[in-house]
Chain A
């Protein structure tokens, strides 16, 4: 209580822009297909007690989440639709309430570009696929809550995210993706 009631509410002028940019950065990381960039994403999260909850299921740690996301989820595309945040005085953190949409590559290929087709013969195997573009499905709705250290306002992004609560809130009937 004492921590909470001390300090004052900071409503700095460019804080909302920084917050928005930071959230966009997180969404962009989720959409990235390059496994090399995973490490960069990792650095944003608090390595000690960062919490990940995805579709109401917790992940023991961030790298497990990112590995699952990288290997078992097809390419995604997030679009930010709403964001609001409160800086909680005395906590040196802010909480963000974010809404976005996400769609999945429904071409049948994973992030590595591999599909499930059983190769019929040598000839087909050798046929080089043209650099394939994703076939985006219909948008799902997402609600995302983040707890971020106030340090982002000082341009420090190391280990700033301490909670990540990502949940799908609506689903289209015409998607091939199963989320249940």
Chain B
């Protein structure tokens, strides 16, 4: 009976428990303020409580509640306090977690990481007292394991954004011990290998076609630099290298022109502003019915309307993210009207569906689908242009769908397909009919009528699933240190979701299958001769002066957004643009980002 029913001892136990979990941290570089100032500053900015502060030499030490808090605090490493960048380090876990090497290396990494410069300093590791003391240089074998371990750990720390690595003064004879650098940091921009003993090109060959963004390389004081071919070899290995040993070797501007398209890929284009909402409505409603009940769509097709599908069975390269390298097109091939593959003119004619009845049959022979235009709008891209020859519009949608069920009517058993019976007699197997995700490009020619639209032409191209080209890699969260919008304020997923609005009520329910089912006037008859760059451009505030080359790259929707942001924030043209770009051209996100970083903006950011 050690009195465990005593309330006091329970709270003592709890306290003991929390004492056990707490983690000791240290802060350096706090010279220009008092300890109390520092504590206030940290708790204000980080929202992490640090207790029992104590000055130990150049260090202020204290405790945070647990490992999670300690890790969170580490993310603020490099934050500016009274004119200095604070160095924050984890000193020890009271529960003895530091004894394990991973923790040691992790702490080491954070000590060597400068968040503001996005730089990981791994220079002169032999002289690091901690590493030496822990015996990591005691033998060659531990030494050779340490580099890859460090790289792996560093690449796994999401808050560690590394653009520069310093590996100088490490007695490296070749790069064999650090080859994994290329896997850990493929987008590294600056690398310093100075003061090592690297003598041969051969060892660098493993980095060929890696480090495609490497801009600066420092190799001074390596024997290799004396080689006659040194410069040309380095240029060959690193295609985007601009500065080699502090000398400019490539014209960066020219390099950018060569390796980037002047027409940057965007997700949406609408020839006129009002086309945007009506065509997104049309597409959202159309796909909703396409996924639920295709017969509801038939009133949109006239006896002259045409539908056909074409299969692009060409395999995307394996280096395309998420690409389906084993696609199955079994349900589509028999009706594919890909005229670069189908040679028989008779088949080409047969595979064109004309009028609602034939189109309905074609629809029935295509697998049931689920599109994700509402919940994953980023994965769809759309262009809308006028089609004056029919007084209508062309809507093109790129994206993906999931196949949910096999077709209502199996094309192989179709009684009205006289030419189809023989071909599939041999070697036909069911794996061709596996249901999977597909990517597609669909083009509708639509003609507004009095109270709705008709579809004059509907062209569907089916291809193997891939992730979309317009989706930014940087749509994963990125720690932004010096930017306008504070990283936590921006939700990258909230990037221009024009489809995010729910489908209007007129749809969804058992709406009368009339041409007006897609909502009253879905597409307003519009002046089809509207010039692409002319009248559609919104009025721009005179204080928003964009360089002509920038302005010419923007579509009217973007210009309008810039204008709105500019007027709202009073930021100057440059900052308005940066803000818009960082927010993924989303007004709400931009304003939120602006408000959260208002205090950090320089005076010159605003209209003077």
Contacts and interface: CB of A to CB of B under 8 A. Distances in A.
A, B in one complex:
yes
Interface of A: 1, 3-5, 9, 11, 13-14, 16, 19-20, 49, 51-60, 68, 72-74, 79-86, 88-93, 95, 97, 99, 101, 106, 108-110, 114-118, 120, 138-141, 143, 145, 147, 162-163, 165, 167-180
Given A116-B250, A118-B248, A83 B338 contact: yes
Given A9-B354, A52-B532, A108-B255, 8 more contacts: A55-B266, A59-B533, A84-B339, A86-B306, A88-B390, A91-B387, A117-B249, A170-B323
Chain B CB within 10 A, most for which of A4, A20, A52, A60: A4
Contacts of B308: 84, 86
A83 B312 CA distance: 8
Interface stretch (B51-59, B132-140, B467-475): B467-475
A91 B390 contact: yes
Interface centre among B251, B389, B391, B449 (most CB of A within 10 A): B389
B260 interface: yes
Nearest to B264: A180
Given A169-B398, A174-B319, A180-B472, A83 B339 contact: yes
Q: B263, B349, B463 — which one has the most chain A CB atoms within 10 A of its CB?
A: B263
B359 to A, nearest CB: 12
Contacts of B212: 176
29 contacts: A4-B304, A4-B391, A16-B339, A57-B269, A60-B532, A60-B533, A74-B258, A80-B340, A84-B309, A84-B337, A84-B339, A86-B306, A88-B456, A91-B389, A97-B460, A99-B441, A108-B239, A108-B259, A116-B250, A116-B251, A118-B248, A118-B250, A141-B469, A163-B385, A165-B396, A173-B319, A173-B321, A179-B260, A179-B265
A9 B304 contact: yes
A11 B349 contact: yes
B159 interface: no
B560 to A, nearest CB: 15
Contacts of B388: 49
B261 A138 contact: no
Contacts of A173: 319-321
B1 interface: no
B259 A171 contact: no
Contacts, number: 258
Given A93-B389, A176-B212, A180-B265, A171 B320 contact: yes
Nearest to B529: A49
Please classify the interface of chain B as helix (H, G, I), strand (E, B), loop, or mixed, using the class held by over half of its residues: mixed
Nearest to B528: A49
Interface string B280-297: 000000000000000000
B263 A109 contact: no
A58 B264 contact: no
A135 B473 CA distance: 25
Contacts of B252: 116
A145 B457 contact: no
Interface of B: 209, 212, 231, 235, 239-240, 248-252, 254-255, 257-269, 271, 302, 304, 306, 308-314, 316-317, 319-321, 323, 337-341, 345, 348-349, 352, 354, 381, 383, 385-392, 394, 396, 398, 439, 441, 443, 445, 447, 449, 456-457, 459-461, 463, 466-470, 472, 529, 532-533, 552-555
Given A139-B317, A180-B470, A19 B461 contact: no
B262 A168 contact: no
Contacts of A3: 389-391
Given A169-B469, A174-B319, A88 B265 contact: no
Contacts of A171: 320, 469
Among B385, B388, B555, residue most surrounded by chain A Cβ atoms (within 10 Å)? B385
A170 B261 contact: no
A4 B469 contact: no
Given A169-B441, A170-B320, A86 B352 contact: yes
Contacts of B445: 86, 88, 95
Contacts of A143: 396, 398, 441, 461
Contacts of A139: 316-317
B381 A167 contact: yes
B301 to A, nearest CB: 12
A54 B533 contact: no
Contacts of A169: 381, 398, 439, 441, 466, 468-469
A16 B345 contact: yes
A25 B313 CA distance: 22
B459 A141 contact: no
Contacts of A118: 248-251
A72 B549 CA distance: 13
In order of increasing CB-CB distance, the 7 nearest A-B pairs are A82-B312, A97-B459, A56-B269, A84-B310, A116-B254, A170-B466, A56-B266
